[in-house]
Amino acid sequence: MGSELWQLDATDLARLIRAGRASATEATRACLDRLAAVNPAINAVVQEMPEEALAEAAAADAAQARGEALGPLHGVPVTIKVNVDQRGHATTNGVAAFQDKIAAEDSPVVANLRAAGAIIIGRTNAPAFSMRLMTDNAVHGRTLNPRDPAITPGGSSGGAGAAVAAGIGPIAHGNDIGGSVRIPAYCCGVVGLRTGFGRVAAFSTQGMVGRPLSSQIMSTQGPLARSVRDLRLALAVMARGDARDTRWADAPLVGPPPKRPIRVALVPEVPGGSTHPAQAEAVRQAGRHLAAAGYVVEEALPPSIETAVELWHVLGSTELFPALWPLMERLGDPDGQAAMRTWMELSPPRGLAEFLAALAERDLLLQRWMAFLLDTPLVVLPTLAGLPPPQRLDVTLDGQRAVLESIRAAFVAPLLGLPGCAVPVGHHGRLRPGVQIMAGRFREDLCLDAAEVIEAAEGPILPIDPVAA
């Protein structure tokens, strides 16, 4: 079954390799063959490394033959996003001028995947500076959604979402500051986990400059996959600590049992704008799945979602954009420049006093959310308020306004530093509507438990062949 191994999820693939029924080399070759077959149509993996991957797979097989201890992802092919450091490869972050930024050391999340035995087969695409809902740039080109090439695969981990959906490796690495794991998972019809603040160690090993405060408190790493159990497996691997990241916390992966029955707040209509009926119905359908499994489900609003969205804009536009815009203006691609320009026009930078006030208000809002989650540990809402938007919608002012109205549903989790798990629910033509499940700090386990219930009711996610452009 060597040629069919690319169809399996990571959990089954690791089990077969461990049992000697498949080899790391066979699994890697199968995924590389799938990459060669489908990647030209979608441009999800933009740095391929077949020789390196096969050499690592051969070493993994030799280690297994010697009887060495095997990691939980031994021999499993994975992909890495181009905005984190991977030894011997350029951290382009979608920018042509960064093609010579060759990393001498792995970032912690990459090192953790390697230590678990994973085989890296390629690096996935991102927009310039990873700050866009579209995945397109001047150095690597545009990534197409395998479900529909006319719509975005999401951003900024769009290459990761498209790769997993098309069967190029069962697990893809991504990161999320405003939805960049959850949105590509939604757009491509797979599952994705935004980890909470402090869960996964992450920093650049190239030591250029420190990250802005808003990035420090909102940006996290996480996996995309085709099964929730793979998200759980990848989380356990990625969450291994690194003392150099002062934000990493040695928190248990499974928290104390919540009071039973577990209460769930459904938010079908996201405050602050319209919500597409398919997305609202996905939330209600997810609620029905959870209720059938014994959860107590009701439509209820957690504290001040509209305030959370506005606070994200205040922090992001005041600190991130002023730092990024000069670089984007000088080094970015025309569409990336247009998208950032329209975003800044719709949400201009504020003054220092308003920025500091927003940080203080965020702290109070997080306290209110944590109090809400004590009684109602889970919140289910749309991943995006709208359907996945067309490619390049964000380059015009009206188009960007529509994008930001839709993305408001994804801003809450990063603003508060909370985990969120995206899972498909239902169908809308070739697309999959989808929900995100939020929980309290370090309670990714509760998100994953609920996601597994929804997944069991909805059926397995299988890799798809890309729809022709």
Cβ neighbour number for residue 14 with a 10 Å cutoff = 27
- Residue 198 to residues 83, 194, 248, 405, Cα–Cα distance (Å): 19, 12, 4, 28
Element (H, E) at 28: helix 24-42
The residue annotated as part of the active site, out of 23, 107, 130, 156, is 156
Structure token digits, residue 53: 């991957």
d(CA 287, CA 135): 31
Q: One-letter amino acid identity for 412? A: V
Catalytic annotation present for 101: no
Catalytic annotation present for 157: no
Helices 24-42 and 50-65 sit at what angle, rounded to 10 degrees?
160
The answer to whether 116 touches 73, Cβ cutoff 8 Å, is yes
Catalytic annotation present for 130: no
What length does the chain have?
469
The residue annotated as part of the active site, out of 81, 130, 317, 406, is 81
d(CA 27, CA 37): 15
**42: nearest Cα among 181, 170, 140, 174:** 140
Structure token digits, residue 112: 């953790």
Cα angle for residues 219, 213, 89 (degrees, 5° grid)? 50
- Residue 361 to residues 291, 315, 355, Cα–Cα distance (Å): 34, 11, 10
Pairing of strands 263-266, 296-299: parallel
The residue annotated as part of the active site, out of 107, 130, 180, 406, is 180
- Residue 415 to residues 84, 158, 309, 318, Cα–Cα distance (Å): 22, 21, 8, 14
**170: nearest Cα among 37, 65, 43, 76:** 76
d(CA 313, CA 273): 16
Q: Catalogue the active-site residues.
A: 81, 156, 180
